[in-house]
Structure 1
Amino acid sequence: MFTFYGRFAAGAAVVMLFGAIAIADGLPEKNVSPVFGVELPAGYRQWQVISVAHEAGNLNDIRINLGNDIAIKAFRNGQRPFPDGTMIARVAWKLVPSARNNAIFGRPQSFVAGDPTNVQISVKNARRYAATGGWGYGQFENGKANQDAALMQTCFACHAKLLASDDFVFTSYSR
């Protein structure tokens, strides 16, 4: 037998439950890549530099490769395969001529980073990513995970062209 207050409390509980479900449904999904579930790691921009590169052709970008402490130690020691927990970030920008610098130098010769294109993250976990040489991949534009599963499926196909002795990593450590 419910009293007025008992009925009120039960009704309030139902309203709160449905309200919580509605709020949960409206929350954004976790910011992870499809296929691999890789997240954009907090603080990755403070990682140490592994190397820089210029990619010509259709991409025409400049990129910096950064590594977490595990990656840097493995690169420095020449450790292959990389240990689990290794994370490599590739941050890319469009390569653009610098009118300002060229004016100072007196001729066209200077290029700088333009608009950002994307950030790619590689994560080593031999067990979780056994089917892809122990590596999981993510690509992020404007801080958001690219949700194109077909694109993510192409990552290892490209990395697999490398020697297994390189542990499927393009980047070489620049001392």
Structure 2
Amino acid sequence: MRRLSTLAFSAATLVFGVSAVAAANRPKQDAAPVYGVTLPEGYRDWKLISVAHEAGKNNDIRAILGNDIAVKAYRENIRPFPDGAVIVRLAWQYQSSPRNDSVFPAPQSFVAGPPTNVQVSVKDSKRYAASNGWGYGQFENGVADQNVALTQSCYACHVKLDAIDKQADLVFTGYSK
């Protein structure tokens, strides 16, 4: 019996070890390139920071959420954001609602349509020192977009804000009270 237990333990250890090596060598599709940012677990339950409508090419409606560290920094106006702050921007197509408009006296209702993407900004001043402390990622249907140029464009866009508002710490969204 003891020999059987030892054999079973050895087999399980071998299987686990092979699985771990295979997983380590597999490319991380759940992480965005460049920064290695992943979708934070439970982010849909985070607190609302603000909402926005982006017109033009995107024409989307957005909800910006933050983890507890980010929300505390927003509420207490702490800048730069402390390490560990995570801001998530969810976007949906911005579209009119014929159903809602049928109730109102004039067309006036706009709602979130199909989702477009989720963008994540993570503050870690050591890990992301080259990008002023922020790491970025974009996700579609829960999968990290592996386009390196797209991911690099996040910082390239956010750093432009620094030229006009150094107090923003590269974050476009203000806290809506």
TM-score, normalisation: structure 2: 0.84
Calculate the aligned-residue CA RMSD, in Å: 2.3
**1:22 positional shift:** 8.0
For 2:98 and 2:157, how far apart are their aligned partners in 1? 35
Structure 1 runs not aligned, ≥5 long = 1-8
Q: Which runs of 4+ in 1 moved over 3 A?
A: 16-30
- Report the secondary structure of 2:113's partner residue: strand
Q: CA deviation at 1:157?
A: 0.8
Structure 1 residue aligned with 2:97: 98
Unpaired runs of 5+ residues, structure 2, are 1-6
- TM-score with structure 1 setting the length: 0.85
Please name the residue that 2:136 is paired with: 137
Percent identity of equivalent pairs:
58
Distance 2:16 2:52 in 1: 51
Determine the C-alpha separation between the residues in 1 that align with 2:19 and 2:171. 44
Separation in structure 2 between the aligned mates of residue 69 and residue 119 of structure 1, nearest angstrom = 19
The equivalent position to 1:167 in structure 2, one of 163, 166, 169, is 169
Structure 2 residue aligned with 1:38? 37
Q: Distance in 2 between matches of 1:110 and 1:30?
A: 38
1:131-154 CA-to-partner distances (Å, cap 9, x unmatched) read 111000010000000000111111
Rounded Cα–Cα distance in structure 2 between residues aligned with 1:124 and 1:34: 16
Q: What displacement does 1:106 show? A: 2.6
Could you tell me which residue of structure 1 aligns to residue 3 of structure 2? none
Q: CA deviation at 1:24?
A: 6.0
8 Å contact kept, 2:37–2:122? yes
Is the partner of 1:161 in helix, strand or coil?
helix
Superimposed CA distance per residue, residues 27-57 of structure 1 (whole angstroms, 9 cap, x where no aligned partner): 7735100000001000000000000000000
Count matched residues. 163
In the TM superposition, 1:8-87 aligns within 5 A as 21=18, 25=22, 29=28, 31-87=30-86
Distance 1:111 1:22 in 2: 48
